[in-house]
């Protein structure tokens, strides 16, 4: 894929799903079963969006983008659109964003910290998508 896609668009979601399935086999995801929603506040169009990920036994199972309520995740991470964009571009680590309160977490903090390295793997894959923000 050489064309640039708009962040959080259907085309971006489709490319993200393709890359996550290809580049993150179950063993790279430590065979984890979990779900997470990123809640994007202050999007450029004034909306609030979500990006929902679900893994079962380390297999990437579901990726949804939408407005309003996301499916119920094990973890919900909320923050400004620009913070998530910086993380997706690889300019800011998710753990650092959490520790500096740029992101807020709902869910089991101990488990979330254990899964932080997996979230970093996810973000490294997403950073390879040619994207306009």
pLDDT of 94 reads 84
Each residue's pLDDT tens digit, 12-62: 999 999 999 999 999 999 999 999 999 999 999 999 999 999 999 999 999
DSSP character string of 22-51: HH--TTTTTT--EEEEEEEES-TTS--EEE
User: CA 69, CA 89: separation in Å to the nearest integer?
Assistant: 25
Q: Give me the residue spans of the domains in the chain.
A: 5-127
For residue 98, what pLDDT is reported?
86
Q: Are 87 and 54 in contact (CB under 8 A)?
A: no
Q: What angle do CA 118, 116, 86 make, to 5 degrees?
A: 95
pLDDT the model gives residue 43? 96
What does pTM read for this prediction? 0.89
CATH classification code of 5-127: 3.30.1050.10
What number of CA atoms fall less than 13 Å from residue 80's CA on the CB side?
Answer: 7
Rounded Cα–Cα distance for residues 114 and 109 (Å):
9
Q: Strands (DSSP E) along 1-133, which ranges?
A: 5-6, 34-41, 49-56, 59-67, 75-80, 103-106, 131-132
Q: Residue 2 pLDDT more than 70?
A: no
pLDDT tens string 100-132: 999 999 988 788 877 888 888 898 999 999 999
Q: Is the pLDDT assigned to residue 1 strictly greater than 70? A: no
Please tell me the predicted confidence (pLDDT) of residue 115. 81
pLDDT given at position 93 = 86
pLDDT value at residue 119: 85
Which pLDDT score, from 0 to 100, does residue 6 have? 95
Q: Please say whether the beta carbons of 7 and 88 come within 8 A.
A: yes
């Amino acid at each position: 894929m050489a064309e640039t896609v708009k962040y959080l668009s259907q085309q971006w979601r489709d490319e993200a799903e393709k890359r996550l399935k290809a580049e993150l086999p179950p063993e790279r995801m430590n065979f984890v079963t979990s779900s997470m929603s990123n809640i994007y506040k202050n999007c450029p169009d004034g909306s609030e969006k979500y990006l929902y990920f679900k893994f079962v036994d380390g297999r990437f199972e579901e990726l949804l983008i939408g407005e309003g309520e996301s499916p119920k995740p094990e973890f919900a991470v909320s923050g400004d659109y620009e913070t998530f964009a910086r993380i997706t571009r690889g300019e800011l680590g998710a753990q650092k964003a959490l520790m500096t309160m740029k992101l807020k977490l709902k869910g089991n903090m101990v488990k979330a910290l254990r899964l932080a390295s997996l979230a970093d793997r996810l973000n490294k894959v997403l950073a390879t998508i040619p994207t306009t923000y």
